[in-house]
Amino acid sequence: MNIAINRARETRIMEKAVRDFRWLSSLLVSVLLVSGLVQPVQGADISPESLPRYVAVLPALGDGTEGERNDLHLAVNNALGASNFELLKPASTQQLLETIFLDESLTLETMPAKQLAERLRVDGLIYVEMVEISKIYVAAYAQYKVAIRIKFYSLQHDRIIWEHEDSETEREGGISADPLSFLATAISSSRILTDAVRLQLTDVLARRFAKKVPQPQALFAKAKPPEIVSALSNASEGPFTSGDEIRVLVEAEPNLNIEFQLSNSDRLWPLSEQSTKKSGELSAAAKAHKSPLRRYTGRFVVPKGLNVDEAQISLQVQRGREKPITWLVPGRVVIDTRPPKPVTSLNALPQANLVQLTWQSQGDESAQEKYMIERALKKSGKFNRLAIIELTEFEDDTLEPGNAYRYRVTPIDPAGNRGRSSTVQVETLRYGPTSIDKDIGQNVFYKAAGSPYQISGAVNILKDVKVEFEPGSVIEFMPESSLTVLGSITAKGRPSEPIIVKGNRWQINHTLPSPSLSLYDHIHFRADANSVEGEKKPSEGLIRLQQARVELGNCTLTGVQLQLQQGADAKVSKCHFQQASVAVALHRGKLSVKDSRFVDNQLALDNHSANADISKSEFAGNQRHIQTQAPLKLSGVSFPKDDFIGLQQRLQGHVEIDWGSLPESQNLQAQWLQTLWIQTTEAIAEQDWRSARKRLSQASKVMADPRFEDLIESLYLLQNPAARAPDIKNPRLLSSILKLREQGKRARLVWLPLESFEQHKSFTLSYLHYYHAKLMADGILRVDPTALEPAMLLREEIGEGIDHDLGALFLVDEDMMQVRLKNLGFIRQPPLLKSLQLVKPARKQLCNSAGPWAYGEQAVDGANPIDDDGCLSLRVTAARDLDLYLFAGNQMGQFVQILPDQCQETGVLSNRVTAQQTLAVPQNNNQQPTVAQRREWPYTHFFAVGLADASASRYLAPILSQSSALCQTSQNGEKASLKQIQQLLYIADKRSGGNLQWMMTAGGAVPSQAQE
């Protein structure tokens, strides 16, 4: 904080001193004007004393590059160096502007001039604009034009007080009718009109401006500064590297001591004065000058390790013992002695007679690197330069097919520094077809472009010779041809560029021990069809291994057999064997097959060896999957198109399958056993002991579970209760069944899923929820959780190892079980009621007669209802002896009891009905069927309730409490809805175990039976 306070104090003191100095200067100028010692400036529209004295030249805006605008800015500053202005140094101006414009919303164009002048602490601003800068070639002329506009702003007047526009053009060349001469002229002019010309034009414009701009009166007489006409450098030739020269040229008055330096260095380099005879003619500007001028030159050789980023060249100019002045030379010097980084990802793509090179630069986009391309024959090794280019690709089309070349790419930065070279080797392609009909005696790499490689006859790869095929190659065997490998083959394709091996009746023989390993990867082996008399017959290819090591990966073998003989060692991974008579024949040797598929072969695997390891593979659609003479164990091997029973027919010999290594979806044994066990448990639940025993016998052949024998014999004993029990080991179930039989009791097996047993925690609840799910879901019956436990004698969990524990078997005392289920209401009585029918006389006119049924009766239904002035009768038929109750619901929502007849209105003397008896209601005095008038019985529904015995009457009590006698037509009891009555009857029916049963019919509608 103290630092901030001190800075604020210093700022206030400086501002006060500036104000005092300006007031004193203005006073002095006024005195001098009054005394006539000085004259006012001619041409100014304001008085000289009002002209700004402390001035900042702002950075140039407008056309051209940033460097070109900077050069104009320096030229104006240099031209005003001998003026009466007190100029803010360019470096100070730049630093202050950078601070002011930290806020990105402000720019030099948008900031008000008054605010900018106050921030710079000056009373005048000079705005510089590059209106035009162009280098044009028109016809045979070359033209360089520079145009500027300069505005002078006064803080005191807060306006532009003076403007100046000017331009300068330099032309070179001459007219020529010859087009070739015109081209030569243009080239010559382009060389003449260099940046030096632009700087000279800029300097001329700046000097003319300095002469015309209105200036304040000088306060004191100033010594005339050294006269400098022009100052140039070769900065535009940069960037410079070690050994390059930075040269400075100055045209000025004679006998000056001039030195130059770079803005990042304190070292000064002298300029030597040259005589006009030695240095040649002066420039046009120097020639036009009245005073004699001299040319001064200096140079600086760039040393190694020096790196400069846009340094400014400044001159220290001194006349005799006068104080030296500083003159800024336009242009910025860049020195770069660091070599560029080498290129990366250099790649050569060959064709028959050309190579396409591509690479990547490690420099940024502004590096502007070039690249030198060199080529050498692989044999000679001498590199010759081909080109220097700016692109990151190059095409060389001056090559011959089948030759090997080396290319070298060297990066070169704009300073000329060379980076480390990168080299790539390439061989131009020789296109196929390529015939191979002789033995291969030396290492060779076959390019894909030479495909197809046509092998004819018996060709040998000699011992220790390595042959390699490029991805995408095609190897074609002529009929009956073979390739015997005594060395090694490496044929590694890619998923997008597999190697194709095809032909008709061909062989590849890997024989004799070899230290090398032959590799096949992403290969399509194919045996083409054989045409005989216009018919295509299958042809087989053969890959035979004897005393050899081979690995096959990601291969497809179509109609091709892999055969292993003595000493062979083959590893197969992710391969597809299809459409072969025998896909793999392992006679002797060692074979490992992993993650592979055998599809649609006559025989997938013919095994005669104990050294076969088949894992994580798939057999599908083969006529026979495996035929083995030696025990063969399969792990993780699936058969997606087979079922468990059908699979046994496709496996011959001792084949052991590790079913546990497969997921559930592929485990055929588990699926079969699960299906078989479900069928077994369903048969047990239905007490179909014969079917259950048959299914379980099939499962026992696959699963070695000693309990199966006990269960199978127990099922047989349940099927044949009088049969003699066999003598078996661990007869747990069987002995319990025999014990019940000795007691004269019946035995029964009950199966329950473990899921149900684990959920309900008791045999009673598990049994009832599984076998009486609807009644348990209704929640009507009241269940004691231990009611059935005494009837359960034994629990046997069976089915482990199939997929999970499917459930448990329970041996129960069937007689006790039936009694307890009846007591709980889960075993119903047989039907008590047979029918309930609503009828009417065939003729309505007989409703009031003594014989309403003279012409018969009609059933009442929806199509034949009862009229309001009609009559009706009820017919109830019993299925067995029972006590009958009849109820009816009237239109007022009341519920009445018709039978037993408390009002003696029905003529029915007793409500006891015998089996198959049909009771008619109402009856006359002779107990003959009669009718009730509709207006007397205006009921919408009729209910028949049958009780099997007197004990069921307790379930009828809730219904009786809702009813009134037939003769009590004006009772005041609560109204009972049809739904309520039905619910009460339903509950009573279920809780009584069918000792109370009921039927319902609608008055004038079809009767409905309210059974479960």
pLDDT score of 1011: 40
What is the full DSSP assignment across 178-223?
Answer: SHHHHHHHHHHHHHHS-HHHHHHHHHHHHHHHHHHS--PPPSS--P
Mean pLDDT computed over 223-236: 84
Mean pLDDT computed over 246-266: 89
Mean pLDDT computed over 593-622: 95
Strand pairing category for 792-798 and 807-813: antiparallel
pLDDT score of 556: 96
CA 263 to chain CA centroid, nearest Å:
55
Mean pLDDT computed over 385-397: 90
- Does the pLDDT at position 637 exceed 90? yes
Residue 865: which residues within 8 A CB-CB, separation 6 or more?
1004, 1005
- Give the ranges where 603-752 is alpha helix by DSSP (H): 644-650, 668-685, 689-700, 707-719, 732-742
The highest-confidence range among 176-185, 200-209, 213-222, by mean pLDDT, is 200-209
Residue 800's pLDDT band (boundaries 50, 70, 90)? low
Beta bridge partners of 422: 409
pLDDT in tens, 759-799: 888 888 888 888 888 888 888 888 888 889 999 888 887 65
- Does the pLDDT at position 1008 exceed 60? no
| Secondary structure E strands in 422-521 | 422-427, 434-436, 444-446, 453-455, 458-461, 466-469, 474-477, 482-485, 488-492, 499-503, 507-511, 518-521
pLDDT in tens, 822-856: 888 888 889 999 999 999 999 989 998 888 998 99
Alpha-carbon distances, residue 650 vs 125, 601, 639, 653 (angstroms): 103, 12, 10, 10
- Name the token pair of 88: 């803010």
Q: pTM score, two decimals?
A: 0.49
- Does the pLDDT at position 204 exceed 90? no
What angle (nearest 5°) sits at the alpha carbon of residue 18, between those of residues 17 and 22?
115
Nearest to 646 by CA among 618, 664, 621: 621
pLDDT in tens, 37-52: 333 433 446 788 889 9
- Does the pLDDT at position 259 exceed 90? yes
Contact at 8 Å (CB) between 752 and 770?
yes
Residue 180: which residues within 8 A CB-CB, separation 6 or more?
none
- Does the pLDDT at position 810 exceed 50? yes
Alpha carbon distance 65, 68 (integer Å) = 5
Residue of 136 and 497 predicted with greater confidence: 497
Residue 53: which residues within 8 A CB-CB, separation 6 or more?
22, 25, 84, 85, 86, 123, 124, 216
Mean pLDDT computed over 479-504: 94
Residue 537's pLDDT band (boundaries 50, 70, 90)? low
Length of the chain: 1012
Beta bridge partners of 620: 599
pLDDT score of 440: 93
Alpha carbon distance 203, 968 (integer Å) = 134
pLDDT in tens, 652-705: 999 999 988 999 889 988 888 888 888 888 888 888 989 988 888 888 777 767
- Does the pLDDT at position 533 exceed 90? no
Contact at 8 Å (CB) between 45 and 26?
no
Contact at 8 Å (CB) between 432 and 450?
yes
Burial class from Cβ neighbours inside 10 Å (0-12, 13-18, 19+) for residue 307 reads middle
pLDDT score of 677: 82
For tokens 């197809």, the residue is 452
pLDDT in tens, 840-849: 999 989 998 8
- Name the token pair of 510: 């890997």
pLDDT score of 104: 62
Alpha carbon distance 330, 68 (integer Å) = 9
pLDDT score of 194: 65
pLDDT score of 538: 58
pLDDT in tens, 268-304: 999 998 876 544 556 655 665 667 888 999 998 988 8
Alpha carbon distance 126, 57 (integer Å) = 5
- Name the token pair of 856: 């018969």
Residue 965's pLDDT band (boundaries 50, 70, 90)? confident
- Name the token pair of 825: 């209401």
Half-sphere exposure of 330 (CA within 13 A, CB side): 28
- Does the pLDDT at position 438 exceed 80? yes
Alpha carbon distance 61, 72 (integer Å) = 10
Strand pairing category for 530-532 and 535-537: antiparallel
**Collapsing DSSP states into helix, strand and coil, what is residue 902?**
coil
Stretch (H or E) spanning 3: helix 2-35
Residue 189's pLDDT band (boundaries 50, 70, 90)? very low
Distance between first and last Cα of the chain? 97
Sign for the CA dihedral angle at 184, 189, 192, 193 comes to negative
- DSSP state for residue 871 in the 8-state scheme: E
Mean pLDDT (the chain, rounded): 84
Mean pLDDT computed over 590-606: 96
Our CA dihedral for 763, 769, 775, 781, rounded to 10 degrees, sits at: 40
Residue 24's pLDDT band (boundaries 50, 70, 90)? very low
The highest-confidence range among 21-30, 121-130, 346-355, 891-900, by mean pLDDT, is 121-130
Mean pLDDT computed over 357-365: 84
- Name the token pair of 908: 């029915």
Alpha carbon distance 782, 828 (integer Å) = 15
Nearest to 792 by CA among 773, 756, 764, 772: 764
Residue of 723 and 586 predicted with greater confidence: 586
- Does the pLDDT at position 19 exceed 60? no
Residue 2: which residues within 8 A CB-CB, separation 6 or more?
none
- Does the pLDDT at position 8 exceed 60? no
